[in-house]
Structure 1
Amino acid sequence: MGFQTPQYKLSKLLEQAGNGTIQLPDFQRGYKWDEERVRSLLVTVTLGHPLGVLMLLQTGNDQVRFKPKAIEGTPPEAGQESPDLLLLDGQQRLTSLYQSLTGSGVVDTEDTRKKQVKRRFYIDIARALEDPARRDEAIVTMPGDGIERTNFGKDIRLDVSTPDKERVHGFFPFRLVYDTPGQLDWLWKFPGATGDGAARMALIHRFQAEILTPMQSYEIPAIELDRSTTKGAVATVFEKVNTGGLPLNVFELLTATFAGDAAYFAQHGDDFRLNDDWQLTDQVIAAHPVLHGIRNTDFLQAVTLLVTAHGKSFTSARKEDVLRLELSDYLAWADKVRAALVWVAQFLRDEHIHRARDIPYPTQLVPLAVIRVILGEEADVYGVRNRLRQWFWCGILGELYGGATETRFARDVDQVPGWARAGISGNTDVPVPATVSAATFAESRLLSLRTRQSAAYKGLHALLMAQGAKDWRFNKSFDYTQYLALDVDIHHIFPKKWCNDNEVPRNLRESIVNKTPLAAKTNLLIGGASPATYMRKLETAAGLDSDELDAIVGAHLIDTKALRHADFEAFFLARRRALLGLVEQAMGKRAQQDVEAGALTGGEEAPEAFADEADDPEDTDVIVSVVSS
């Protein structure tokens, strides 16, 4: 990649934007600046201050075939030309300058309330010449028709809707700064403050010398990338330079690349629109709320993993490899990934993960979808599915998908399908995937899992529901329908108030060991009471005898005898052992027992921050929804 750093006259940039010599790549988002930012930009130009660097890319690059689009506000014919340069950074500034300094000077912008408006911009000549330090006050914004109204539009406060009226008020329009004939005509007819001809000419000469001439020679520095620049380099440079706008991602880059695919156009007579294709994926996501966290870049990573796994020497989901995607490869796999996402949603539901916010590692869904594509219907065969579950839970409980995910994506796509198939073939020579073999869980981790920010915390919440736990009051399983209908969340077993009253250490009170999934109304009924009290209350409210209730509560891996005696220590020790067994069952391996038997604390606890917890509800006659207590 080579580049140069030329200085462009603003007048030349406006000319190139207007004739289509400079255009935007198709990935650039729309024009978004509000009127105050446009006004401030014009102040900067009138003062001769720098407004930042533009970044341009030379066209004619075999590696970067971005589809161009004209800058907003330019003539229709500008978009019909083949540009010499693509504007990668500086769209908002150049669009603002083009619309305010050419043509009618009317800018399509928005006001402080984000309402779309049309605005013109003027220089108050008298104020502009008084004091350069107060130049900001001399740059005036007016409605697009040049008339400022008050009293809900009934009265006119200021009217500069015609050149004559502009001259009467001494408001020089920015649209004429680079229009020499129009500018001279406007100034020639401009009256002096006293009507004296000599005074008028002196004012005109001073305005030209101090304001207009410096503006006409104003220059903007640029970084101009040459034709050898790759898409990856464009993305990297853009991210470094584009600090004022939204960061560029691979989806926007590929949108422009695919739109410029000549072979597709020759076959279909139209450009491929990646955004339109993404709408098909978005429909799948909309139909399955648990998938709502999946982004368009995740989808592209899944496609790239499949493309590289089937046609390259290595499997990859790195950005630079996503950017190398050919449209034909994308089209070969996109529909298969979409179909796999439906399967992923059902897989999550089977594991009792019902909402997007409850997914331990959203990133893990990328390789999960890819593995489903590779395995096809075999993914639902009992022996294969069991191994997929083991891999899934090893990733979560081993907390392995929190960093360096692109490398893990590729490794799992290479290793998991063959190992999963060995679950029915019985082939013992297939190596265990690294995510399974490397996953470990220590008993002490149960003591430090205290907030829903942790993947393992969310995972245990789901595992408890999946292994048969029911709500204590309604005796209903936590399937998808009941989970939503009952407003289920994870709540304290020994209530927060009881723990505080009985001086239970905060780290034990907030541990996952003292949490379990319950309906909001069940948690409300429990309130802040002692378990010895609320268990009797539950029997009456639910119409259950003590044995029936003990069976329901016991399915949450709770020692009900300790609970009914409000024996926190016995309860905590028994449930910690039971939860450790649940973890071992899900991971298919022994956990590390690093807490001394009979000790409430020990081992190496991870230093996690506590989340703010709501107080337990105390007035059970008030019907409210308690989300977390």
Structure 2
Amino acid sequence: MGFLTPQHKLSTLLDRVNNGRIQLPDFQRSYKWDEERIRALLATITLGHPLGVIMLLQTGNDQVRFKPKPLEGTPVGAAVAAPEHLLLDGQQRLTSLVQSLTGDGVVDTEDVRKKQVRRRFYIDIERAMVDPLRLEDALRTLPGDGIERTNFGRDVTLDVSTPELERVHGLFPFRLVYDQPNLLDWLWKFPSATGHLAERTALIQRFQGEVLTPLQSYEIPAIELDKATTKAAVATVFEKVNTGGLPLNVFELLTSIFAGDARYYAEHGVDFRLNDDWALTQAVIDTHPVLKKFDSTAFLQAVTLLATSHGIGATYARKEDILKLDLVDYLRWAEPVRQALVWVAQFLHDEHIHRQDDVPYQTQLIPLAAMRVVLGEEADVYAVRARLRRWYWSGVLGEQYGGATETRFARDLDQVPSWALAGVGATAGERDRGIPSTVAGASFTESRLLTLRSRQSAAYKGIHALLMARGCKDWRFQKTFDHNQFVALRVDIHHVFPRKWCITNNVESWMRESIVNKTPLARKTNQMVGGASPASYMPKLEKTAGLKPEELDEVVAAHLIDPATLRTADFESYFLRRRRALLELVEEAMGKPAQRDVEADELVGGFETPDQFAEEPDDVEDGADETTADEEA
């Protein structure tokens, strides 16, 4: 790789951008700078301060083939011109300068509230001459039409919508800095715009000499990579030197590598477009909303896992490993992973995980999809599926898929499929052979039930999914929580002993907010329960649902709740019994005993509970209407 480090006049760079000789690789992100960053950039060049290096890649390299696109705001003709260089670093800065310093000077940007706006930039000439060292104070930002308004647009406070009005108010537009014919006309007419000819003549002469002339000679340093630059070097450039505040992710980096694949181009006559292929995956995800957070990087990790597991050497899926992925391997595994995602969505629904926010670990879906590809239809054989479920819940309840997990991805893909297949026809003595490390190393302690209070916790989400999967029903509507009913009933996690009741009866917050005091219920059922005592809302449920006492008790018991403790509002007995029942539910899912570190007849058993925990919204008060409930939630 060879490179040069020239200094380019800003005026030359602007010309080259506007005539299409400098363009972007078309996978680069869109222009994103807000008006304050643009104003700061213009202050930088006006003061003559350095704004950093830009990086260019010479075109014509057979190994690095990118489809070009013009910078936003350039003339239409720039789109069809064959570029000499591609801009690898400096897109946000050059786009800001092109839009503000050329054409009509109107920049499509956003304000501090992230609202899309159109802006023009000016220099207050008189103020700039007061103190040349504080030129940035003289910069003005105005609406794109040059008219500043107040009182919801009814009153005009400043109008510089024409060159004549700009001269009257002494506001020099940045758009004219390099527009020589119009600049000279503007400067020539400036002194006579008001009645102070001599004073204004001296002012504009000073402004031209002290501000405009230095600004017109401003230069920007560049690094220009030559035609010998390899695709690996380009990827490194994107990763290491993208300084515009919007670093590229691994998908965009791989896009740059695949777009320059010479073998693919030789075979197909076009470059490979990773974005187009990802659109096929996105269509699958859009069809299955539970996968909504499965992003492009996760997809590439699953593909990399499969590519490396079927190659020579170790299985891996780290970021640096994804960038080594060959296009041939990507094309081999991308479609199988896409198809596997449909199965993953159904697996989650079968486990009563119905929304993307209820997925305990998004990262665990990566090896799960890869396992489905390896196992094929065998993944749905009863014994195989049972072992996949045990692995999945061991990861969730053992809380093993938080943080850096790339090593676990690889290890699980190497270990779980063969172990799952061995479950078919396994004898009692063979069942404990070759247990994957995620299953063998998973553990759950009873005291964890006392600290699971946040719906962001993987184990918290997991336990409620397990409750729904075992067939519990809504107390009022008598419907199980399959996917359709879960959505229709607007099911969520709610208190069993309502929050208001607990506060009134001095139940400590760590018990009140523990998962032991939560269960899945329909929204309207929770509204009806309100803040009342269980001893009051149980008869009310019987009446509104048309249930006999024994029928309601059966429904409540399916939530691993002793209904007798609700009818007597015996919180302590309720808490002890449900804690034990939930622990058995966890043990069943993990296929192993939990660690019992709480005395059987104690609520805490010496376990110190933290004072801080994730607060939940208050339960709806009994009798509140639905509108109030929505607002409170």
Give the TM interval when normalised to the shorter protein. Answer: 0.7 to 0.9
Q: How many angstroms apart in 2 are the aligned matches of 1:116 and 1:618?
A: 41
Q: Is the 8 A contact 2:239 2:248 kept in 1?
A: no
Distance 2:240 2:420 in 1: 41
How many angstroms does 1:378 deviate by?
Answer: 0.5
Cα distance, 1:172–1:550 mapped onto 2, change above 3 Å: closer
- Once structures 1 and 2 are overlaid, which stretch shifts more, 47-56 or 110-119? 110-119
Q: Structure 2 matches for 1:393-404, cutoff 5 A?
A: 393-404=393-404
Deviation at 1:195, TM superposition (A): 8.8
Aligned to 2:567: 564
Per-residue deviation, residues 19-65 of structure 1 (Å, max 9, x unmatched): 54543233322223455544443333223234445455566778765
Assess, with a 3 A threshold, how the Cα gap between structure 1 residues 381 and 608 changes in structure 2: closer, same or farther.
Answer: farther
Number of the residue aligned with 1:473: 476
Q: Show the 5 A alignment for 1:105-120.
A: 105-109=105-109
Which residue number corresponds to residue 216 of structure 1?
Answer: 216
Hey, what does 1:492 align to over in structure 2? 495
Q: Does 1:550 align with 2:537?
A: no
Structure 2 SS opposite 1:420: helix
Q: Matches of 2:382 and 2:584 in 1, distance apart?
A: 22
Q: Which residue of 2 aligns with 1:384?
A: 384
- Choose which of 423, 442, 446 in structure 2 pairs with 1:443: 446
Question: 1:369: how far off?
Answer: 0.9
**Which residue type is aligned with residue 300 of structure 2?**
L
- TM-score, normalising length from structure 2? 0.87
Distance 1:567 1:180, change over 3 A: closer
Is 1:458 the counterpart of 2:461? The answer is yes
Question: How far has the Cα of 1:600 moved from its partner?
Answer: 1.0
Matches within 5 A, 1:520-531: 520-531=523-534
Query: In 2 relative to 1, CA 196–580 (structure 1 residues): closer, same or farther, beyond 3 Å?
Result: closer
Q: How does 1:71-470 map to 2 (within 5 A)?
A: 71-75=71-75, 78=78, 85-109=85-109, 121-132=121-132, 135-136=135-136, 138-139=138-139, 158=159, 161=162, 172-180=172-180, 183-184=183-184, 187=187, 191=191, 205-221=205-221, 227=229, 230=233, 233-238=236-241, 241-243=243-245, 246-424=246-424, 426=426, 428=430, 431-470=434-473
Task: Work out the CA distance in 1 between the residues paired with 2:625 and 2:454.
Answer: 27
Change (3 A) 1:608 1:396: farther
What secondary structure sits across from 2:445 in the alignment?
A: coil
Q: CA deviation at 1:2?
A: 9.0
SS at match of 2:453: coil
The equivalent residue for 1:17 is 17
* Corresponding residue pairs, total: 625
1:358–1:156 Cα change, 3 Å: closer
Do the aligned partners of 1:63 and 1:231 also contact (CA within 8 Å) in 2? no
Q: Distance in 2 between matches of 1:105 and 1:624?
A: 49
Query: TM-score normalized by structure 1?
Result: 0.87
- Is 1:519 paired with 2:503? no
Indicate conservation of the 8 Å contact 2:92/2:244, yes or no: no
Q: Residue type of the partner of 2:553?
A: D
Residues 167 and 567 from structure 1, CA distance in 2 versus in 1: closer, same or farther, beyond 3 angstroms? closer
Instruction: Check conservation: 1:317, 1:410, Cα contact below 8 A.
Output: yes
- Higher mean alpha-carbon deviation, 412-421 vs 197-206, is at 197-206
Structure 1 CA distance, aligned partners of 2:156 and 2:389?
A: 72
Determine the C-alpha separation between the residues in 1 that align with 2:73 and 2:590. 59
The amino acid of 2:462's aligned partner reads: G
Segments of 5+ residues of structure 2 without an aligned counterpart are: none
Asked whether the 8 Å contact 2:360–2:459 carries over to 1, the reply is yes
1:599 and 2:588 correspond: no
SS of residue paired to 1:335: helix
Q: Secondary structure at the residue paired with 2:248?
A: coil
Provide closer, same or farther for how the CA distance between residues 8 and 312 of structure 1 changes in structure 2, counting only shifts above 3 A.
Answer: farther
Moved more, 22-31 or 336-345: 22-31
Shift of 1:402: 0.5
Aligned partner of 1:437: which letter?
Answer: A
Per-residue deviation, 1:66 = 4.4
Does the 8 A contact of 2:352 with 2:468 survive in 1? Answer: yes
Identify which range, 454-463 or 561-570, moves more after superposition. Answer: 561-570
Change over 3 Å in CA distance of 1:572–1:260 after alignment to 2:
same
Residues 235 and 254, structure 2, Cα contact 8 Å, conserved in 1: no
Q: Give the fraction of aligned pairs with identical amino acids, expressed as a percent.
A: 67
Deviations 1:48-103 (A, max 9, x none): 23444545556677876544333223455655566565433332221121233335
Letter in 2 for 1:500: I
* Residue 335 (structure 1) shift: 1.8
Corresponding residue for residue 581 of structure 2: 578
Tell me which amino acid in the other structure corresponds to 1:616: D
| Structure 2 Cα separation of the partners of residues 6 and 425 of structure 1 | 71
Partner secondary structure for residue 424 of structure 1? coil
In structure 1, what is the Cα distance between the partners aligned to 2:601 and 2:25?
Answer: 66
1:611: how far off?
2.1
Matches of 1:16 and 1:178 in 2, distance apart?
A: 13
- Indicate yes or no: 2:510 matched with 1:507: yes
Match of 2:69 in 1: 69
CA 1:225–1:579: 2 relative to 1, 3 Å: farther
Deviation at 1:356, TM superposition (A): 1.0
Kept after mapping to 2: 8 A contact 1:10/1:220: yes
Gaps of 5+ in 1: none
- Please, what is the CA RMSD of the aligned residues? 3.6
Of the structure 1 ranges 505-514 and 8-17, higher mean CA displacement relative to structure 2 is found in: 8-17
Letter in 2 for 1:462: A
Contact (CA 8 Å) 1:100, 1:120: kept in 2 or not? yes
8 A Cα contact 1:457 1:512, kept in partner: yes
Code of the aligned partner of 2:487: L
8 Å CA contact 2:529–2:622 kept in 1: the answer is: no
Residues 371-427 of structure 1 show CA distances to partners (whole Å, capped at 9, x for unaligned) of 111111111000110000000000000000002211111111111111111111538
Question: How far apart are the structure 2 equivalents of 1:335 and 1:358?
Answer: 26
Name whichever of 24-33 and 5-14 sits farther off. 5-14
The partner residue of 1:589 within 588, 592, 605 is: 592
* SS at 1:88 equivalent: strand
* CA positional deviation for 1:295: 1.3
Deviates more, 1:615-624 or 1:585-594: 615-624
Q: Deviation of residue 497 (structure 1)?
A: 2.5
Task: Give the secondary structure class of the aligned counterpart of 1:100.
Answer: helix
Alignment-mate amino acid for residue 448 of structure 1: T
Q: Secondary structure at the match of 1:23?
A: strand
